[in-house]
Amino acid sequence: WYGGWAKRVGELQAGAYGVQYKNKNISIVRPANVYGRYDNFDPTNAMVIPSLIRKAHENKVLEVWGDGTPIRDFIHAKDVARGMIFAVENKITEPINLGSGDGVQIKTIAETIAKKFGNDIKWITDAPSGDARRVFDMTRAKSYGFELTTSIEEGIQDTIDWFLENKDIIDLRFNAFKGDR
């Protein structure tokens, strides 16, 4: 809830900047659930994909809240960066959503990650699952010609590879800031 308001305030600030400086070339992108390299893999407050990657790496059984049926929209960080550059280069001055527009079940995400690590999955069905479906409307972005280039499978593999290559640094960073909580 607060995250949504923070994003909206940022959009209003960008609009105010445009009015103040008489600049109509303000691009606003609204990315879906972003994941990828350099993500936050902190087990206490990470988003779904990095959280599941870390849990799968550290445990033989991957515990996942809910039954896996909720559908969410994900976008790899590389596509977010491409989308931002695309919006600026094409002088898009109305907000555009960046996501798949289709979404994917949490069950598919969990199974993809578990398979990469050879994990079994335990569904914690008495834990909250959240809304049944949260998917972005990509009509406007597609009307300008923007399309994703990274599939969910490719993006998860890229994120896992980066995590495994950088796990020691991630752990050092996490342990260094653990006392700040």
Q: How far is it, in rounded angstroms, from Cα 178 to Cα 27?
A: 37
Tell me, yes or no, if 17 is annotated catalytic: no
Distance (Å, whole) CA 54 – CA 35: 13
Check residue 94 and report its DSSP letter: S
Which of 2, 21, 35, 144 is an active site residue? 2
Beta bridge partners of 133: 71
Task: Return the active site residues.
Answer: 2
